[in-house]
Structure 1
Amino acid sequence: QEEPKPETPATQGGALRKDFYRESCPQAETIVNQTIHTIFNRDPTLAPALVRLLFHDCFVTGCDASIMLDDTPSGEDVEKKARQNGPFVRGFEAIDEIKTQLEAQCPGVVSCADLLAFSVRDSLVFTGVPTYKVAAGRRDGMASTARNCIGNLPLPDTPLDRIIHMFTKKGFTFEDLVILIGAHSIGTAHCSVVADRFHDAEKSKEIDPGYLLTMQTLTQCQADSQDIPFDPYSSHKMDSRFYKELLDRKALLESDHNVAKRPDANAIMRQYVNDQNGWLARFTSAMIKLGQVEVLTGDQGQIRRQCRAVN
């Protein structure tokens, strides 16, 4: 099965640089880190929420914080109201809290797009990911429309070839996709989103029988908002052992299961399942790449004073 070649998006982070705020706001990354620490102590589920927020922002119109806007000049529905986002994304209050701290120290200097990239890095450290340098200089977008999400963000039942195409057109390889799926070793999914396949006669044939029995009980869905962990053994720790669950046909998400079925994905997962350090190194590279998709730089966009509204 020939893998489609990744395309090169218009801007892929070339204008970003490390220590971007060294002179304009030298304490910027420290403020983000300290605020993330405070929030994480209240809410240890912050990391998967922010990772998802970054992915859902960057895959639409690039990493421009457009997902954070509550309204847009045209009056159309914004990205956060799209079917692909609605119930699946959160973390906006955490971003507001960090932005308030940054504005108090350095008004109008640090973009919401950079703030999100820093926040994702710092929250992942709490889950066992080694820290990494984030190049900055992103500018914030000035529009956000729900229709831009169509064809750019997958839904739980999106076919695998469509998902691969979404990644390819943003410059990602199939291996990048397999590596980034490892982020599902932390976090949860809404019961109502994942329940169907465990009660479907055909689809359930592909699921490990013991796991299927457990999940058929768990997915009775007493409440729509009931959350089920992707990895029941270490839902707050980034862990390449998660691949073992996928290889053993114990995937919570149908899309993860469909990836693991492919022989090329299978080989990648087997390579990293017992190589935590190797996988973490590869994962941080993929996260850096994710944070540099189609960024606005220079005099493009603006630096929002509030992440929910254009200036």
Structure 2
Amino acid sequence: MTAGPGVTARTATIAGVWRHPVKSTAPEPLAEAALTADGGVLGDRAWALRDERRGVIADARTLPALLDAEARYTRPPTPAEPGPPVEITVPGHAPVTSADPDVHERLSAALGRAVTLWPRLPAGEDAHYRRLPPEDGDWDRYLREFFDVADAADVPDLSRLPEAVTTHQTIPGTYFDAFPLHLITDVTLRTLGGLSGGGPAAARRFRPNLLIAVPGDNSGPYPELAWAGRRLRAGTAVLRVTVPTPRCVMISHPAGGLPRDRELLRAVHREAAHDAGVYAAVEEPGVLRPGDRVELLP
């Protein structure tokens, strides 16, 4: 990796690649991923659940059981069909597919909440993506709980993110929270694990698309934060790193056998100014695999 502030001159590599066929479900590890210009990892977050009681796209904050639900495609995604039919298995319940006539009823029963399953809709279907105020109208309370902070003044600066983040549950036309890709390094996971009193933090808590292994020489405790505004070549794709990722209460939730860990989020807020990992967009489509080289471009 090209030398520069907060990065190393030795080679960085891709240590893991994941996608989430349904927003907020368990990560699906990939041996190879195609990156598309407008959708990030092909097949990532092509489906989402909608909370019918609230009338908004659902996430694991209100449906924590989603974090352990497994989703897989019944046939491989292609550029022509980036979101083919999907099968979802909620622990303790039989699998259900998006093609089943009773899919909504079965998912609602499994999750204990009235939901419907939706593919991505065009960006012009604005009402589908809209964010609604909290039921009690108290945005300060909502943000305090969302970021697990004591005071609204301690909420991360969200002005770096697209404006649509404040008005929509996801970016219209997608089920991405802010940008198509999320990256984190093994160095950051080791740093945060040490700060919260244990070994490396589990990548699963942060739900990245890419885990990047960075040699530790002079890389700093959070090397990817120095990449904001830079371009990366990963495999045959070129990525544009956009902004650091502000972390919310999701990284504290139990998932995949991991226990609840509020201290991890507190460490991120206290020691890393709320940020862990970075968002990115695809500048040049390509293919990447675990083991591929990652390098900063001029």
Q: Would you call these one fold, judging by a TM-score over 0.5? A: no
Kindly indicate whether structure 1 or structure 2 has the higher relative contact order, using CA contacts under 8 Å at least 6 residues apart.
1
TM-score normalised by L of structure 1: 0.25
Flag the structure with higher helix content: 1
Flag the structure with higher strand content: 2
